[in-house]
Structure 1
């Protein structure tokens, strides 16, 4: 399978932040921003794999700046690294005051997607070729992030086993 440049998977979406998208403080709901992030990252992963994808994980999403009603939100994503069937996608969200032109990065995140075949089973994906210095830096550190995700997933499985499906107050 031939490797692809990170830039081949670039996906960008800009949206106007309207009143129904905001909380009582007039800023974008965090969940709404996370939906934008997942959507654009999935497009990026599908573009890279040219196959359907499913979200496997979302690393911490830190809200660095508020996204205000009337501003825009621009979400950019590209594949930074791949494993056999999985892809790490870097996402950056930028908010812009459309009246002044002031822009700021409001969120960055890494998501992992798995490509699936027609039977819903994981299927191989091409590798990536980082070209810019930023892409090379992200690619170089990706294996460490993947190991951290693996450890976090094992801890999540342990919590799921410990707590099970019952509410704690229903246990004897």
Structure 2
């Protein structure tokens, strides 16, 4: 009954790499079309997010799918390890620095906006700037750390478990 078990396919690594290159180019093309479509719709219709829901679902959905799929295959741990070898900043440090920079940027924007639009005197504008800046930091930096870092750490932990289980299974064979 060898018919039901299937055969092992021999794959040419060169062909697989070329196919992956084509898939990568398709992915970049689809993302470019989505971004151009969002820009065009915003230009024509204003900044109504309802008009660009499909594009946003495509752009966010593919990222979520990739994280889930690479985590379930144990690939995320290997990718993070390769990134950490080739980069000055580890993935974990980037997941701390990027939310901190985004939080600082938002805090500076909101604080400047409050100081300019709501203050009557120079002292009041300085007070508003400092107050809004630190309150915004208090809210947004933890929020962004949880949003960016939380899913990554959870996915990496799951991927590490799957990868170690696969290594144990390979050793037992």
Q: Taking structure 1 as the reference length, what is the TM-score of the superposition?
A: 0.29
Higher strand content, 1 or 2: 1
Structure showing greater radius of gyration is 2
